[in-house]
Each structure stands twice: as structure tokens, then as C-alpha cells.
């Protein structure tokens, strides 16, 4: 259940991406969709097309979240809103985070920066909010050249620059995570959280 990133759009309209993944990538040319996974609602978003307030994607997202007012929701997209990596924070995603926050989304997964980072729950402006905030993970550790954090952002709880994957376990009302490094790696991160 993929989402496109900036490299997919090096080809016009990310056509090879949509051809390869077919219906698993969502509607052709759009690349955003949702599905349910156990007790969780999962939203796949396309950070490479217009996602500002009032855009077609934003209107779809609002309708989707309103129609799926479940206790736990996770969203994923390529670009992070907040990052201690070289790309830094992305103010262009402020509107999106406003929508996700307003509808009580619990977790956002992203990549783009080639590192691992976990943020404490925060609001769209980057202020700590342990009650209603969104926990963001950046997991850009899938094989491209890695780089260290550039400037640690507020509410960043853990960063690492090793190849690996994030194992995310979603249970009714709660979740747990574990960063699993590639063979020989030593960096670890693990914890638990509750849905709003």
C-alpha cells in the first residue's frame, strides 16, 4: 500500500509508479486513499501534489476522516512536517497537519530525510501536546545513503542514522514501535503509546 515520493515525480505525473502499483496506489494520478486495518483507520497521502487547505486532496481527507471516526488513526506520506534532517521542517504541510490534528489522528509516518527520527506528540505548530498531539516518525532508512541530523528540532525524542525498518504494532486503543536495524546495526528505539 504505497505512497509516492519526490523521485517518482521525476517522471511526468509519476506515470511509471502508478503503472507498477496499479490499484494499490490509489486512483491513478492522485495517489491518496484509505483503508481499515483491524481497529485502526489508515490514510495514505500524496505529499507531492497539492495538499493545502481547500485542495481536492484536503477535501477528500476531511470527508474520509469524518466518515471513519474511529478511535485510532495513522496517516503516512513521503515528506515530513517536522524534521531535524537536512530538509528541515516543511511549512507547506501546516494545513495538512491542521486537518489531521482536528480529526484526532494519532500517528504520522514519513520519510524523505535519510535518517530515523521520532517526535513526541505535537500540534501543527510544533508545540508539545501530550493529550491531542500527533506522534510523527521519519523512517528514511531503507537503503539510500544516510546522513546525520542537522539541527535537532523541538519535541524530537530520538534520532539515528542506521539502515533499518520501523516495526509498528497497532492494537485496539494503543500502539507500540521498534526500530529494527539492519544486520550488524546497533541503533534501537522502542516504546508504546495510546490513541486519543
Per-residue pLDDT tens digits for 19-46: 999 999 999 889 999 999 999 999 999 9
What per-residue confidence (pLDDT) applies to 69?
87
C-alpha cell at 20: 507498477
Q: Which helix (H) or strand (E) holds 167?
A: strand 164-171
DSSP lists the bridge partners of residue 140 as none
C-alpha cell at 121: 506528540
Instruction: Name the packing angle between helices 94-102 and 56-67 (round to 10°).
Output: 20
What per-residue confidence (pLDDT) applies to 124?
96
> pLDDT band for position 49 (50/70/90)?
very high
Amino acid at each position: 500500500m504505497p505512497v509516492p515520493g519526490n523521485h517518482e515525480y521525476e517522471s511526468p505525473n509519476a506515470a511509471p509508479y502508478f503503472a507498477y502499483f496499479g490499484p494499490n496506489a490509489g486512483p491513478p494520478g492522485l495517489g491518496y486513499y484509505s483503508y481499515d486495518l483491524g481497529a485502526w483507520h489508515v490514510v495514505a497521502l500524496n505529499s507531492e501534489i497539492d495538499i493545502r487547505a481547500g485542495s481536492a486532496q484536503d477535501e477528500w481527507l476531511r470527508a474520509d476522516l469524518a466518515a471513519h471516526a474511529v478511535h485510532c488513526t495513522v496517516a503516512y506520506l513521503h515528506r515530513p512536517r517536522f524534521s531535524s534532517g537536512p530538509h528541515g521542517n516543511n511549512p507547506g504541510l501546516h494545513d495538512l497537519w491542521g486537518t489531521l490534528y482536528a480529526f484526532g489522528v494519532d500517528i504520522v509516518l514519513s520519510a524523505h530525510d535519510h535518517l530515523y527520527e521520532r517526535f513526541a506528540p505535537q500540534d501543527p505548530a510544533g508545540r508539545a501536546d501530550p493529550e491531542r498531539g500527533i506522534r510523527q516518525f521519519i523512517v528514511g532508512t531503507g537503503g539510500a545513503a544516510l546522513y546525520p541530523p542537522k539541527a535537532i528540532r523541538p519535541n524530537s525524542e530520538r534520532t539515528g542514522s542506521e539502515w533499518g525498518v520501523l516495526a509498528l504494532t497497532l492494537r485496539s486503543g494503543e500502539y507500540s514501535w521498534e526500530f529494527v536495524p539492519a544486520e550488524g546495526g546497533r541503533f534501537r528505539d522502542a516504546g508504546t503509546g495510546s490513541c486519543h
